[in-house]
Structure 1
Amino acid sequence: MPLQPSSFAILGAGLMGRLLAVELARQGHRVDIYDAGSPAAENSAATVAAAMLAPLAESAITEPGVVRMGHHALTRWPELLGALSEPVFFQQAGTLIVWHRQDAAEAQRLTRQLEANQHKVPELPALQKLDGAALAQAEPTLAQRFAQGLYLPGEGQLDNRQLLAALVVEMQRLSVHMHWHTPQSPEAFTPGAPGQPDWVLDCRGLGAKGQWPALRGVRGEVVRIYAPDVTLQRPTRLVHPRYPIYIAPKEDHLFVIGATEIESDDLSPASVRSTLELLSAAYAVHPSFAEGRILELATQCRPTLPDNLPAIRQPRPGVLEINGLYRHGFMIAPAMLDVTLEVLNAGQSQLSQRFDLALDLEPAPLPPPSAAAAFA
């Protein structure tokens, strides 16, 4: 049964908060969204992310359920983006993985691992091994530097900042009540009471650590480079035993390059060591990066649970907490969105079983109200 007209308070206007606000408002619900920051999402890990949609590539460090969530996203993102009034760069040209000769053993180990993972999630397209000629055809500018590689068909990426901005435009168009520079916690609301929202959806990431103490930060460092002489056509990953990197080409010769993953909630600027390693590895992939211009060197911490897997839980009636997206935010956000909508509509989710997604829905959801409440 579709959810009857309801009112929602969404806490946190990062990627999940904005997606939920748009979808719920589109369904006719009243939505208020609260965030400690501004529409620029400066406090959100989503602002720094490379926004790659690479389920097979990421299978090297995550579980099959997350990989299936990523595969789900490859179909859902075009639908979600197509419903927005503002354009968002989206590409689905696959992922390329390359390595230098001295790292061939590490590449062989990775290849075996990806092949085994592909058999666990057979709906994924099989990886393709590229010799020098095939690599030259796929990415001509890399052919003289790498003798072989792997191609993962169907994987994609989008422009994270274009998307975050487009979601703000959509929230405005759908009359979402946006409360910027207004941090809130679930304790500020009594769902279902007069003058209160029917539901509170907590999407604050690390901001929810007071309610979810198991959350921890995993620091990432990303450099944005304008490099007009670099012509990579798709996300490219370099196999390296110490600092494997990814290079995600966006529009207009903008490249998002990242590698580091540090168990820390430190948000201080990037270290000299990690910056040197990041830029050196990018230069090793394509020497023309040396003539590029560094537009930004950013750090952020991803909200991560002890098992590195996402979860949805209901600590009390009318409150849902969606968290733990780790480094896979854009890859799994559509799946998390669809599971949350199923829970709100039916009190349970069949999709969550497909994704091996942890749901803790006790106590049972409140019955849907007959009309939306108004609240400050």
Structure 2
Amino acid sequence: MDVSANPTIGSRRATGIVIDSTALPTRSDVVVVGAGLIGLSCAWRLAQAGLSVTVIERDTVGVGASLAATGMLAPAAEHEPGSDPLLPLALESLARWPGFRDELQAASGISIDYREEGTLVVAIGRDEVDRLRFRHDLQIRSGLSARWLPGSEVRALEPTLRPSVTAGLFCPDDHQVDPRLVMAGLTRANQAAGVTIVEQCAVEALDWVGDRVCGAATSRGHISAATLILATGAWSGDASLLPDELALPVRPLRGQSLALKTTTRTGNLSHMVWTEQVHMAPKADGHLIIGATVEDCGFVPGVTAGGLYALLEGARRVLPGIEEMEVEAVWSGFRPTSDDDAPIIDTLAPGLVVATGHHRNGYLLAPATADCVAELVTTGALPDIASSFGLARFHRSEQRVRRAFA
């Protein structure tokens, strides 16, 4: 069994992510800081627009959240009280996923295991059923596609679930991808588009000329650029790169996950299945991914006994077959979470753009985020669909609080 703070999942380890040792260029039209899902998606779109692009990564491609994720594209299952402002962007990005998938697979030659079976959210017992009905009411009021199912219909869709599953919601439009294949595809697509990816290169300071960012000082030297994009995920809240007035309210939330190896004897799920405790995602290579804890513990790496127990027990409550499945890997990663759990997509200063804070929705929001950032860089204007996700919203909230207590 592979135990890692980064997801190298046994036989699933061969992701196809290969970066040649690359020297840092001295200049690029665009420098993207961060080679995670969001950074590579933005870089690819900008390269397609004809710009020279360099991606700088402090560690290796996908470290942090991108390779640790489950790959959920689930606006309905994720919808909760207070998330209405994010919903239009989430649904727009989901609508863009099929085109994004087709382009990515054609550019990379890698199938990303895009699965459209839908998602089941299940409940056991009266209290969970009541909370599930509340969730369903919220989904319907928000115009989302979700169908209430009695326990018998849930088990007809997933016969391996326990008879004690009392009810469920079927969200037909909630899909999933395999993160390791998406990241491998993005790496190849970027390389094919002429993007330079430099790993093990830390950005130490931004280069300012007046109020404008014109490049960065790194552990490998300086690089100049017309635009620098911060896509540093959970590390975006690092105060060392930005002045106080541009500080990003982003923090890490650790998530622990595990991979189980299924067989014809154990069987596997056909849909992504959510409970109140865990979500379970079947992958085409026969693995079942169980995730994920949510822990506000800063950048404390690693896997804990309590975290693994919570995952296994949460899954076992509804899926007894996991008792016979081999645990192939366990890992943890850091979600980039803003103060309101929504992304920050904005121009912070001339020449400085940010795309971060996607919380649990990085994979869902990647196509729309990449398109919006590309439009922002090439035209200077952020599309209306992302206009409410700037940094200023947090300052307005602070001002309202101050006025309320004045």
Same fold (TM over 0.5): yes
Whether 2:262 is the aligned partner of 1:227: answer yes
Residues 113-137 of structure 1: CA distance to partner in whole angstroms, max 9, x if unpaired?
33224323x2x32x21112442233
Change (3 A) 1:231 1:55: same
Amino acid at match of 2:156: Q
Q: In the alignment, what sits opposite 1:252?
A: 285
Deviations 1:205-238 (A, max 9, x none): 2333223353211111111111222321111011
Match of 2:274 in 1: 237
Task: Provide structure 2 residue ranges, at least 5 long, that are not aligned to the other structure.
Answer: 1-27, 216-222, 394-406
8 Å CA contact 1:53–1:73 kept in 2: the answer is: no
Residues 282 and 246 of structure 1: is their aligned pair in 2 closer, same or farther, counting only changes over 3 Å?
same
Match of 2:113 in 1: 89
- 1:27 maps to which residue? 49
1:110 corresponding residue in structure 2: 132
1:80 aligns with 2:100: yes
The code of the aligned residue for 1:47 comes to: L
Q: Is the 8 A contact 2:376 2:383 kept in 1?
A: no
Return 5+ residue gaps in structure 1 as ranges: 1-5, 362-376
> What residue is the counterpart of 1:183 in the other structure?
202
Residue 339 of structure 1: aligned partner = 372
Query: Which residue of 2 is the match for residue 152 of structure 1?
Result: 171
Q: Give the partner amino acid of 2:170.
A: Y
Deviation at residue 26 of structure 1 after TM alignment: 1.5
CA deviations on 1:67-93 (whole Å, 9 max, x unpaired) are 222222322122112112221110122
Q: How far is the alpha carbon of 1:359 from its aligned partner?
A: 5.4
Do the aligned partners of residues 173 and 62 (structure 1) sit closer, same or farther apart at CA in structure 2, a change above 3 Å counting? farther
SS of the residue 1:108 aligns to:
helix
Counterpart for residue 308 of structure 2: 275
Question: Residue type of the partner of 2:118?
Answer: G
Alpha carbons of structure 1 residues 221 and 192: separation in structure 2 relative to 1, 3 Å? closer
Q: Any idea what SS the aligned residue of 1:170 has? A: helix
Over aligned residues, Cα RMSD in angstroms? Answer: 2.4
Runs of 4+ in 1 over 4 A off after TM superposition: 188-193
- What's the counterpart of residue 204 of structure 1? 232
Secondary structure at 1:141's aligned position in 2?
Answer: coil
User: Under a length normalisation based on structure 1, what TM-score does the superposition of the two structures give?
Assistant: 0.84
**Equivalent residue number for residue 295 of structure 1:** 328
CA distance in 2 between partners of 1:154 and 1:72 (Å): 12
Which residue in the other structure is 1:357 paired with? Answer: 389
Superposed CA deviations along residues 252-284 of structure 1, whole A, max 9, x for unmatched, are 221111132111213332221221121112122
Mapped contact 1:248–1:256 kept (Cα < 8 A): yes
Normalising by the residue count of structure 2, what TM-score does the alignment of the two structures yield? 0.79
> 1:147, CA displacement in angstroms?
3.6
Please state how far the C-alpha of 1:145 moved relative to its aligned partner: 4.0
Residue 261 of structure 1 corresponds to 294
- How many Å apart are 1:29 and its aligned residue? 0.9
Task: Judge conservation of contact 1:88–1:158 (CA < 8 Å) in 2.
Answer: yes
**CA offset at residue 196 of structure 1?**
2.5
Aligned-pair identity (%): 25
Give SS of 2:300's match: coil
Distance 2:260 2:171 in 1: 24
What is the distance in 1 between the residues matched to 2:84 and 2:187? 32
Counterpart position of 1:324: 357
